[in-house]
């Protein structure tokens, strides 16, 4: 069972449907007892970093994510969920993240914002991308991006600057794009995560 963390924001049902399409089982829940019984966790998200982190803190889900990440549970952050994995964000001021991966979230200063649509991911260097050709296009919607320490970057994308579109540290992974909206390649990425 994969636990999809419901902290009141995000594209929860589309992620659940993608997992089920691949033959997996997924629970969308904020119940820490249910999440504790899940083999893997997905932290999805759409919206504001500050509001999302506050919801995670207030619900106790922040501590649950940190505890499960520390015990070796595979964790996948998607879009805003990936940004939560970093140390801090400058969205609406300066706000602390989960600090599971060194780096910070910063706003695009060039180009049309939000960065929306299909874009390639280069330098894919993780089992998360098994069976996916380098340069494959995924679907993005975001106004802020991850500036992560190079050793944790497993995929990069070009949009008026080069930014980390995929990060990893041990059992913790993050993707800025939406695999559940990225066709066959996105499903392959989720399949790979399910196999960890």
Residue 178 among the catalytic residues: yes
Catalytic position from the list 95, 115, 142, 178:
178
Residue 38 among the catalytic residues: no
Q: Phi-psi bin for 81: left (phi > 0), alpha (psi -120 to 50), beta?
A: alpha
Contacts of 144 (CB under 8 A, 6+ apart): 49, 83, 89, 90, 91, 105, 106, 107, 108
Catalytic position from the list 79, 95, 115, 142:
79
Contacts of 18 (CB under 8 A, 6+ apart): 179, 180, 186, 187, 190
Q: Which residues pair with 117 in a beta bridge?
A: 140
Which of these, 16, 5, 18, 19, lies nearest to 53 by C-alpha position? Answer: 5
Catalytic position from the list 64, 91, 95, 180:
180
Residue 151 among the catalytic residues: no
Q: How far apart are CA 170 and CA 103, in angstroms?
A: 15
Residue with tokens 């999302």: 52
Which residues are identified as catalytic?
79, 178, 180
């Amino acid at each position: 069972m994969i636990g999809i963390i419901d902290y009141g924001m995000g594209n929860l049902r589309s992620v659940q449907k993608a997992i089920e399409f691949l033959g997996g089982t997924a629970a969308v829940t904020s119940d820490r007892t249910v999440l504790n019984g899940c083999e893997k966790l997905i932290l999805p998200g759409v919206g504001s970093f500050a509001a999302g982190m506050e919801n995670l803190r207030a619900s106790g889900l922040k501590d649950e994510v940190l505890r499960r990440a520390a015990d070796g549970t595979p964790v996948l952050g998607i879009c805003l969920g990936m940004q939560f994995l970093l140390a801090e964000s400058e969205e609406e001021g300066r706000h602390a993240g989960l600090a599971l991966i060194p780096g910070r979230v910063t706003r695009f200063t060039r180009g049309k914002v939000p960065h929306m649509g299909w874009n390639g991911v280069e330098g894919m260097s993780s089992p998360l991308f098994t069976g996916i050709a380098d340069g494959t296009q995924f679907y993005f919607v975001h106004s802020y991006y991850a500036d992560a320490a190079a050793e944790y970057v497993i995929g990069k994308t070009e949009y008026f600057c080069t930014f980390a579109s995929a990060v990893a540290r041990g059992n913790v992974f993050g993707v800025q794009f939406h695999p559940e909206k990225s066709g066959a390649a996105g499903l392959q990425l989720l399949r790979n995560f399910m196999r960890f």
